[in-house]
């Protein structure tokens, strides 16, 4: 399963400041720390996910690196030649090899052209970019501007980066994760044609929500006593509708309930401080084995 977007994991916008990202990380790290969740596998998994997300975007430098990695994500793994095929400049032993391959291909292409069909042109790698839309924009469709980075072969084996902006036509009622292919708008090739641009639609799931596959998940804070004993909590859906849901006894952090088209996930409520009666009650529970 593909890793979730770190901005969604931390619940922050792509324009969030370092301080906002750090605050969101600290809150979630406290919430899902294994020591606070009795070794729950779900909480441990979420804790690791939160830590990885902060490592990816916690500083301006790490965010820059993350965006570059996202730019290259459509180009195959392993840090290979970004232009694909043997026509690229990477790993070819210098300009002598470059020229040799260029002229060898030129002669071979000329001979094949004289004796038969023209060989297919080599293509650059496809580029991948996300188009962020609100739920209303995805529902209505339309034309939206997208800015992305295209890699093109430069001089003496260099790779030039070109920022491009173009209009993307989105069909009405488009779903999260839908792909739109724009032909020949991807990365360049030194002797061939551009690859394609794969545009992936990313729909804002709403405040306090994130995507898990094709499902929208909204986290709600539940006190430990309610998780163990059961009870009712109030939930506000992204649409603004409020209602109460029933928490079954002996629920765990990470358990979910489906409400309409939203998955409600239980997280442990943050405790900033305890009064004397609460402390006495917790000490009694500890003495009783809880």
- Identify the helix (H) or strand (E) that includes residue 44: helix 41-57
Section 74-89 average pLDDT:
44
Categorize the per-residue pLDDT at 286 as very low, low, confident or very high, splitting at 50, 70 and 90: confident
Task: Identify the pLDDT of residue 161.
Answer: 87
CA-CA distance, 185 to 208, in Å (whole number)? Answer: 35
Q: Which residue did the predictor score with more confidence, 73 or 38? A: 38
CA-CA distance, 248 to 252, in Å (whole number)? Answer: 10
Given a cut of 90, is residue 153 above it in pLDDT? no
Task: Identify the pLDDT of residue 168.
Answer: 95
Backbone angle region of 38, left / alpha / beta, with phi > 0 → left and psi within -120 to 50 → alpha: left
- Tell whether pTM > 0.85: no
Q: Which value, to the nearest 10 degrees, does the dihedral of the CA atoms of residues 53, 254, 12, 139 take?
A: 120
Strands (E), the chain: 127-133, 142-153, 159-170, 179-182, 197-203, 209-212, 215-222, 231-236, 242-247, 256-259, 262-268
> Strand, coil or helix: what is 127?
strand
CA-CA distance, 12 to 207, in Å (whole number)? Answer: 10
Task: Identify the pLDDT of residue 75.
Answer: 45
Section 240-257 average pLDDT:
90
Q: Which residue did the predictor score with more confidence, 67 or 196? A: 196
Model confidence pLDDT, tens digit, residues 6-23? 988 898 877 777 888 888
Given a cut of 80, is residue 255 above it in pLDDT? yes
Structure token digits, residue 181: 């292919």
Categorize the per-residue pLDDT at 71 as very low, low, confident or very high, splitting at 50, 70 and 90: low
Task: Identify the pLDDT of residue 93.
Answer: 43
Section 120-145 average pLDDT:
90
- Percentage of the chain exceeding pLDDT 90: 29
CA-CA distance, 223 to 122, in Å (whole number)? Answer: 60
Task: Identify the pLDDT of residue 114.
Answer: 55
How far, rounded to the nearest angstrom, does the alpha carbon of residue 168 sit from its chain's CA centroid? 20
Q: Which residue did the predictor score with more confidence, 54 or 1? A: 54
Given a cut of 70, is residue 224 above it in pLDDT? yes
Given a cut of 70, is residue 101 above it in pLDDT? no
Given a cut of 70, is residue 90 above it in pLDDT? no
């Amino acid at each position: 399963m593909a890793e979730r977007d770190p901005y969604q994991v931390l619940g922050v916008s792509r324009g969030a400041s370092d301080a906002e990202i750090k605050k969101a990380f600290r809150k979630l790290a406290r919430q899902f720390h294994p020591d606070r969740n009795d070794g729950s596998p779900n909480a441990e998994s979420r804790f690791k996910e939160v830590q990885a997300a902060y490592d990816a975007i916690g500083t301006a430098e790490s965010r820059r690196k993350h965006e570059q990695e996202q730019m290259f994500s459509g180009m195959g793994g392993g840090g290979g030649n970004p232009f694909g095929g043997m026509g690229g400049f990477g790993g070819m032993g210098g300009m002598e090899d470059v020229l040799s391959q260029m002229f060898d291909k030129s002669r071979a292409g000329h001979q094949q052209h004289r004796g038969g069909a023209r060989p297919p042109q080599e293509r650059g790698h496809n580029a991948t970019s996300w188009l962020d839309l609100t739920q209303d924009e995805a529902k209505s469709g339309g034309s939206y501007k997208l800015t992305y980075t295209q890699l093109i072969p430069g001089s003496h084996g260099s790779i030039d980066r070109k920022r491009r902006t173009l209009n993307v036509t989105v069909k009405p009622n488009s779903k999260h994760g839908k792909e739109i292919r724009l032909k020949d708008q991807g990365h360049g090739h030194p002797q061939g044609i551009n690859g394609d641009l794969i545009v992936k639609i990313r729909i804002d799931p709403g405040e306090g929500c994130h995507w898990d596959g094709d499902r929208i998940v909204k986290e709600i804070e539940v006190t430990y006593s309610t998780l163990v004993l059961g009870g009712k909590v109030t939930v506000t859906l992204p649409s603004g509708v409020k209602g109460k849901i029933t928490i079954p006894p002996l629920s765990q952090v990470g358990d979910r309930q489906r409400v309409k088209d939203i998955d409600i996930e239980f997280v442990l409520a943050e405790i900033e401080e305890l009064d004397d009666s609460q402390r006495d009650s917790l000490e009694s529970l500890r003495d009783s084995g809880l």
